[in-house]
Structure 1
Amino acid sequence: MAFPIVERPDAEVETPATVRHAVVFDLDGVIVDSFAVMSEAFAIAYAEVVGDGPAPFEEYRRHLGRYFPDIMRIMNLPLAMQEPFVRESYRLADQVHVFDGIVELLLTLRVRNVRLAVATGKSGPRARSLLDRLGLLPFFAHVIGSDEVAQPKPAPDIVRHALDLLDVPPEAAIMVGDAPTDVASARGAGVASAAALWAPPYDVGELLAAGPDVVLRRPVDLLALCPAVPAR
């Protein structure tokens, strides 16, 4: 079923007839604000591997949600940038912030017995390390990185894997992301998609054109789609 789009922060979202037993979240731009750290890490990696000149971070940001090696291939940049990018991302991790309202959202979903997972363009170890550092790792039953599936987003593999681990059918789940790759991955897995707009995406028009089932202006808006689930 198609969910309504939330056009205003104070708008009410119609509760869907199907109870959502699980939520699969993207990480960057949804749970954490890591854009400043990514920009600095990308600039350092570009300078080390490519050399002088401005690092094309705005183009890189257009491809967020994909696995870093895939982005390098799309942008025709050396894969050797991955090592310094990851190194600097770890070094700067203390500067990553959790978006306002996320902790409250996760607490409420846990009380409602909604099962939670993360499916991210990052590698699994780096994603789990970051969430652990931020104190959020215990909220998620599973955190899956793009290095842990055969084909990363926009392929459906990572969402399907999350559903398998959560033991939830596609129609009982929803994925929250901030990029067209998230929408495509969810659709391919037969899962409803929610576009998160609390961190303005690189191109809102491109994200909406991808056809998410619902657009959320604030983390709390997701709660209308996730009523309490009976305990197993």
Structure 2
Amino acid sequence: MSLPAADAALPAPSRGPIRAVVFDLDGVIVDSSAVMREAFSIAYAEVVGAGPAPFEEYNRHMGRYFPDIMRLMGLPLEMEEPFVRESYRMAHLVPLFPGVRETLEELHVRGIRMAIATGKSGPRARSLLDTLGVLGLFDQVIGSDEVARPKPAPDIVLQALGHLDVPPAQAMMVGDAVIDLLSGRDAGATTVATTWHGGDIAALLAAGPDVVAHAPADLLAHCPAALVP
């Protein structure tokens, strides 16, 4: 992959071959920002009351489990119920990012094991991926409610790789937030920062990812066909 000089990152570590890819969900696989903004605004109005919902602050914590974000923001945990309700109601409005489906299908053809490690709950993540018709491409989908310590702890990445039976040295963690990179790094995986979500790219690059991907297909350069044992 050829990177613009301003976005240059460290080359991928020569640990491979890469046999598994663990993805964050929101901002990497799905473009859910608009639906999350609406769901957050409705939940805020129902539980907190009138006034602008602080979505920009919420967005800075993206990738964490929703109850953890509420604690960090000092907001009522009761916001989770209407937020989840509205997220399910509007799930059909959440698209895959351009090029994601084709990249996932190609990785599948190459024999690369794939998992999701998300800040969402597991049931909600699996429901969304099923709605989008790509759930079957993933060997494992794990939500933050299904691990003892969600991101930025490495638990969710390690649990995913345990299910895939692939060691961290032969895996990549792909995310759009610094906590994704921290989780992957502490798990011992190659870390990949994505830029197609349009978020805080400077913060991602400052976190020192091993690889920077500007489009989903960029991942293919690091994932040749898996070797048959």
* TM bucket, shorter chain: over 0.9
Which residue does the alignment assign to 1:210?
207
Amino acid at match of 1:137: L
Residue of structure 2 equivalent to 1:174: 172
1:155-177: CA deviations, max 9, x gaps? 00000000100000010000110
Is 1:66 aligned with 2:64?
A: yes
Q: Is 1:15–1:224's contact at 8 Å kept on the other side of the alignment?
A: no
Structure 1 runs not aligned, ≥5 long:
none
Once the two structures are TM-superposed, the CA of residue 209 in structure 1 deviates from its matched residue by: 1.4
Instruction: Return the match for 1:33 from 14, 31, 34.
Output: 31
Aligned to 1:223: 220
Pick which of 14-23 and 124-133 moved more: 14-23
Once the 2 structures are TM-superposed, how far is the Cα of residue 14 of structure 1 from its aligned partner?
6.9
Structure 2 unaligned residues grouped into runs of 5+ = none
Query: Which residue of structure 2 aligns with residue 90 of structure 1?
Result: 88
> Shift of residue 64 of structure 1?
0.6
Deviation string, structure 1 residues 179-208 (Cα, Å, up to 9, x no partner): 00100100110111101111111x221121
| Shift in alpha-carbon separation, 1:224–1:128, aligned structure 2, 3 A | same
Structure 1 residue 72: Cα displacement: 0.4
The one-letter code sitting in structure 1 at the alignment partner of 2:202 is G
Provide the TM-score with structure 1 as the length reference: 0.93
| Matched AA of 2:208 | G
Whole-Å Cα distance in 2 between the matches of residues 188 and 14 of structure 1? 18
Give the Cα separation in 2 of the matches to 1:187 and 1:88.
Answer: 33
In structure 1, C-alpha distance between the alignment counterparts of 2:191 and 2:2, rounded to whole Å: 11
8 Å CA contact retained: 1:22, 1:116: yes
Q: TM-score, normalised by structure 2?
A: 0.94
Distance in 1 separating the partners of 2:147 and 2:3: 32
> Does the 8 Å contact 2:25/2:118 carry over to 1?
yes
The answer to whether the 8 Å contact 1:6/1:214 transfers is no
Q: In 1, Cα distance between the equivalents of 2:217 and 2:45?
A: 40
CA deviation after TM superposition for structure 1 residue 26, in Å? 0.3
CA-atom RMSD in angstroms: 1.7
Indicate conservation of the 8 Å contact 1:150/1:157, yes or no.
yes
Q: Check whether the contact 1:45–1:81 (CA below 8 A) recurs between aligned residues.
A: yes
From 21, 31, 44, the equivalent of 1:23 is 21
With over 3 angstroms needed to count, the CA separation of the structure-2 counterparts of 1:41 and 1:93, relative to structure 1, is same
- Does structure 1 residue 149 correspond to structure 2 residue 150? no
Match of 2:159 in 1: 161
